[in-house]
Amino acid sequence: MLSLVGKLKNKDFIDHINNIDLIFLTETWFNSNIDVPDFRSFVSDTAKPHTNWACCKSGGITLLTRTKFEKFTSIVKKSKNFLWCKISKDVLNAKNYLFVCGVYIPPEKSVYFENEIFDELENDIIQFSSKGNIMILGDFNARTNTLEDFISKDGNNFINDTSENCLQPKNRLNFDHQINNHGKQLINLCINCNMNILNGRTKGDSFGRATFHGNNGISVVDYIICDQELFRNTNYFVVKPPTYLSDHSQIVTWVGIGQTNEKPDTNPGCNIEMTKLPNQYIWDNHSKNNFRESLRSQEMQKKLNEFMNSDFTNDLNGANQCVTEFQNILLETSKKSLKIKKCKRRRKISNIAQKKWFDKDCRIKRHDLRKLSNLKHIDPTNVELRKNYRDALKSYKATLQLKQNESKSIIYRSPTFTCKSQCNLPANSMPCARNNRREPFNTFAFARRNPIEQCLYIAPHCNQQNFDYFG
């Protein structure tokens, strides 16, 4: 999530985080609190530039939590690579606290990478695991392929436990078949701390979807890792399709802690089974004759005779059975003779950030980009799809920039004021002060002037005390 500041007012960004309670944003290049509606922000430190010519900071982790959960969330440790928070067991309805860590580990060849990062993370996990459950998530820049993050029982002489209650998790799948040094260290950390990776083995991501989509290919470098107790209580884990907001895909998990599937029935009257409404049929000038012909057919006449000869009981059940059979005859006749009415509803298109310049061309480009994004998410190894996605992304961004620049070129109406001396002219009526003829002028330069400069530009004889400004 590079350059977080430019995305805070983007409607697509707000929609992506709207239904989530706890959000970690990594590689934000930001170390001060941000303002997001209905969220409280916490930020980590950022790495200082190693050279004088470095134009931006490195790393940066931001935690966004719902304001209603603010009093249950606290920061226990932060550094330039980690941001640890503690979630109260009261809001979780659990026995233990939940310690969640947002992680950003620079690539191995980066000048900001330090060899002690994984050792520091392992020490933190050991420290906080004695106080509660542990979950770490973020950008590890680690490629692990399908390396086992547990001690395998293969080759043992005893019978392995293959039941659902077995502590040994199932093997992972992964779209990324490469392994780097970060990946090996991450696997060792999982084995040493008894942690398990959710990617590639959890409901919602059983294939190990790619989390990074670059110009040169795809990879899985973003993970969510938790202890075995949380691993058993994880409901879903999803890798969202890539968007133009970042090269990394959003990863989301749902964890049920201290919750039961059975909920008390506080309102028995609401448990009424709902039935689907019947189809509506089009009735036109020809429908009457068509319905009569269908009703006179041999098949319908046979069913009507059977209905007339049926012996229904004189009670509630008998009445219901009689009405149901007659209704079925009418419905079957209607299906054979009439057209079903179909309601076409068009989904309302929301404008990005509610900008007036976001017109039909922008919506079409965004639609094409999302379509390619979903196709690439399904088949991330397709080189042609990846190239088409990158081209569509460049075209979409170029269209947004073009429309935004065009909107800036519109002549803005300048503030109106009245000169007390001799002007008495609106600002957009610009007679030359030196003679009575009109002359061309720079609209943008005039609009950037303050009211005093505008008045003096129109009539140099004015001074600062001779006009009223109406804004």
Helix (H) or strand (E) holding 418: strand 417-419
Q: What is the distance, to the nearest Å, from the Cα of residue 95 to the centroid of all Cα atoms in its chain?
A: 31
Cβ contact 142:224 at 8 Å: no
Mean pLDDT taken over the chain: 78
Give the pLDDT of residue 5.
Answer: 63
Q: For domain 4-153+170-255, which architecture applies?
A: 4-Layer Sandwich (3.60)
The pLDDT tens digits for 362-391 are 888 888 998 888 888 888 888 888 889 889
Nearest to 24 by CA among 223, 189, 159: 223
In terms of pLDDT, which residue wins out, 98 or 161? 98
- Stretch 333-337: mean pLDDT: 87
Give 379-401 as a 3 state SS string.
CCCCHHHHHHHHHHHHHHHHHHH
| Helix axes 316-337 and 287-295, enclosed angle (nearest 10) | 120
Cβ contact 380:220 at 8 Å: no
| Helix axes 360-378 and 383-408, enclosed angle (nearest 10) | 160
Give the pLDDT of residue 433.
Answer: 41
CA atoms of 395 and 274, how far apart (whole Å): 47
> Can you list the positions of beta strands (E) in 20-96?
22-26, 39-43, 61-66, 73-78, 82-87
Dihedral-angle region of residue 345 (phi above 0 means left; psi in -120 to 50 means alpha; beta otherwise): beta
Give the pLDDT of residue 439.
Answer: 43
Domain ranges of the chain: 4-153+170-255, 282-338, 360-408
Give the pLDDT of residue 467.
Answer: 42
The pLDDT tens digits for 191-247 are 999 999 999 999 999 889 999 998 888 999 999 999 988 888 888 899 999 888 888
Cβ contact 43:22 at 8 Å: no
309 pLDDT higher than 80 = yes
Give the pLDDT of residue 469.
Answer: 40
- Stretch 4-21: mean pLDDT: 78
How many other C-beta atoms are found inside a 10 Å radius of the C-beta of residue 251?
Answer: 21
The pLDDT tens digits for 252-292 are 998 876 554 444 444 544 455 666 666 778 888 888 898 88
Give the pLDDT of residue 361.
Answer: 87
- Stretch 303-325: mean pLDDT: 89
Buried b (16+ CB within 10 A) or exposed e, 70-109: eebbeeeebebbbbbbbbebebbebebbbbbbbbbbbeee
3 pLDDT higher than 60 = no
314-319's contacts with Cβ under 8 Å and 24+ in sequence apart are: none
CA atoms of 241 and 372, how far apart (whole Å): 10
Question: What radius of gyration do the chain's Cα atoms show?
Answer: 33
- Stretch 294-316: mean pLDDT: 89
CA atoms of 211 and 174, how far apart (whole Å): 11
Helix (H) or strand (E) holding 280: none
In terms of pLDDT, which residue wins out, 152 or 340? 340
352 pLDDT higher than 60 = no
Task: List helix spans (H) across 221-297.
Answer: 228-233, 287-295
The pLDDT tens digits for 410-462 are 644 444 444 444 444 444 444 444 444 444 444 444 444 544 444 444 444 44
> Can you list the positions of beta strands (E) in 80-198?
82-87, 97-104, 132-139, 195-197
Give the pLDDT of residue 31.
Answer: 77
Give the pLDDT of residue 177.
Answer: 92
351 DSSP 8-state letter: P
304 pLDDT higher than 80 = yes
The pLDDT tens digits for 67-106 are 988 899 999 999 989 999 999 988 887 888 999 999 999 9
425 DSSP 8-state letter: -
CA atoms of 126 and 106, how far apart (whole Å): 22
347 pLDDT higher than 60 = no
Residue 14's pLDDT band (cuts 50, 70, 90)? confident
Give the pLDDT of residue 354.
Answer: 60
Tell me the backbone φ, ψ of residue 166, rounded to 5 degrees: -65, 140
CA atoms of 458 and 106, how far apart (whole Å): 58
Dmax (CA) for the chain in angstroms is: 106
Give the pLDDT of residue 272.
Answer: 54
The pLDDT tens digits for 42-68 are 988 887 766 655 556 678 899 999 998
- Stretch 120-125: mean pLDDT: 94
